[in-house]
């Protein structure tokens, strides 16, 4: 598949999720002041990689990708929640995100905390409200939500961010970095694929291949992030580059140097591709996605 074709697939799926996310905030029960604060970050033109992956997964498993939109939205909401909270002064203290002021710079820290909390809970509410109406079996819904909840909790992104902040673990630096990366980034990226697969009832072999693919894709994604923090510009990234280095944070670039980090990203991309190959030509798009993510510049 050409780069252009892949971009078109991403673009059309991104439009769907953008429209869907906008729609779910039309809810009179949510106090206006909170709703605006949530919308500011949720409808802020993210790349939507995770919900696009959820949709593509469903499609490749023979299911209408619109059906998984509530789950895809919940995953993007949890991702947005983590970004809002990570940007807080007490965490990474970032003023810009996606080229705009961060949530707390506009709405204040208290509202930013509440917007993040809201997004975490509202994703579940949305799934529990919508998925049973969309014809998925109750068993598949429960399995999908189990994968999702694991990815966003203390064994997933929260745990990874705690390791990132404290830089404290029992392991050596290399092992610690790997674990932090898996928790902070890989679990949710992987869940955007595996939770969707569970929702549409994928079999054991498919689940296992997608699980491995998602892990390697997620790690490659984080290594590229570390690289872009060194090589990217604020206009490309939409956020301040060079922060990790200035703060002396453990990253793949800090530990291994830029060249070795690039090699590691390629190795993880290769492993991702090897993991998906057993599923045959129907899943070819996942090979292109792995290469697309390895080549990204923002």
CA dihedral of residues 164, 168, 173, 176 (deg, nearest 10): -60
Binding flag, residue 109, its own copies (CB under 8 A) = yes
* Residue-wise DSSP of 195-214: HHHHHTT--HHHHHHHHHHH
In angstroms, the Cα distances linking 277 to 132, 177, 217, 294 are: 32, 28, 14, 18
Cβ-proximal residues to 174 (8 Å cutoff; 6+ apart), any chain: 255
106 binds its own copies (CB under 8 A): no
Terminal-to-terminal C-alpha distance of the chain: 21
**Of residues 6-35, those binding its own copies (CB under 8 A):** 27, 29-35
Q: Residue 172 CB, nearest distance to its own copies (Å)?
A: 16
Q: Does 166 bind its own copies (CB under 8 A)?
A: yes
Q: Identify whether the C-beta of residue 185 lies closer than 8 Å to the C-beta of residue 160.
A: yes
Give 119 or 285: the residue with its C-beta nearer to its own copies: 119
Residues 124-143 that bind its own copies (CB under 8 A): 124-125, 128-129, 132, 138-139, 141-142
Looking at the Cβ atoms of 59 and 92, the one nearer to its own copies is: 92
Q: How many C-beta atoms lie closer than 10 Å to residue 129's C-beta?
A: 12
Rounded (10°) CA dihedral 58, 50, 182, 261:
120
Tokens of 261: 């980090």
43 binds its own copies (CB under 8 A): no
Instruction: Specify the residue, 121 or 234, whose C-beta has the smaller distance to its own copies.
Output: 121
Does residue number 152 form part of the binding site for its own copies (CB under 8 A)? Answer: yes
Q: Which residues bind its own copies (CB under 8 A)?
A: 27, 29-35, 37-38, 78, 81-82, 85, 88, 90-91, 108-111, 113-114, 116-118, 120-122, 124-125, 128-129, 132, 138-139, 141-142, 145-146, 149-150, 152-156, 158-159, 161-163, 165-166, 168-170, 183
């Amino acid at each position: 598949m050409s780069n252009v074709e892949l971009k078109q697939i991403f673009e059309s799926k991104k439009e769907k999720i953008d429209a869907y996310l906008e729609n779910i905030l039309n809810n009179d029960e949510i106090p206006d002041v909170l709703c605006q604060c949530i919308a500011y970050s949720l409808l802020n033109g993210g790349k939507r990689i995770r919900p696009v992956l959820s949709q593509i997964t469903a499609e490749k498993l023979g299911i209408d990708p619109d059906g998984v939109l509530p789950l895809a939205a919940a995953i993007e909401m949890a991702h947005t929640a983590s970004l809002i909270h990570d940007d807080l002064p007490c965490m990474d203290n970032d003023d810009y995100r996606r080229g705009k002021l961060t949530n707390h710079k506009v709405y204040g820290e208290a509202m930013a905390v509440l917007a993040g909390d809201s997004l975490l809970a509202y994703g579940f509410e949305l799934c529990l409200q919508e998925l049973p109406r969309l014809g998925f079996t109750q068993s598949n819904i429960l399995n999908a939500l189990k994968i999702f909840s694991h990815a966003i909790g203390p064994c997933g992104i929260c745990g990874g961010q705690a390791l990132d902040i404290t830089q404290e673990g029992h392991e050596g630096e290399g092992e610690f970095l790997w674990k932090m990366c898996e928790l902070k980034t890989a679990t949710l990226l992987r869940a955007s694929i595996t939770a969707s697969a569970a929702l549409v009832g994928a079999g054991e072999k498919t689940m296992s291949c997608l699980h491995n693919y998602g892990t390697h894709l997620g790690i490659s994604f984080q290594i590229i992030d570390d690289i872009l923090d060194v090589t990217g510009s604020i206009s490309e990234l939409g956020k301040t580059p060079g922060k990790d280095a200035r703060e002396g944070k453990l990253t793949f670039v800090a530990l291994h140097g830029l060249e070795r980090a690039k090699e590691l990203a390629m190795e993880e991309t290769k492993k991702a591709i090897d993991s998906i190959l057993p599923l045959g030509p129907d899943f070819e798009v996942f090979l292109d996605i792995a290469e697309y993510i390895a080549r990204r510049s923002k």
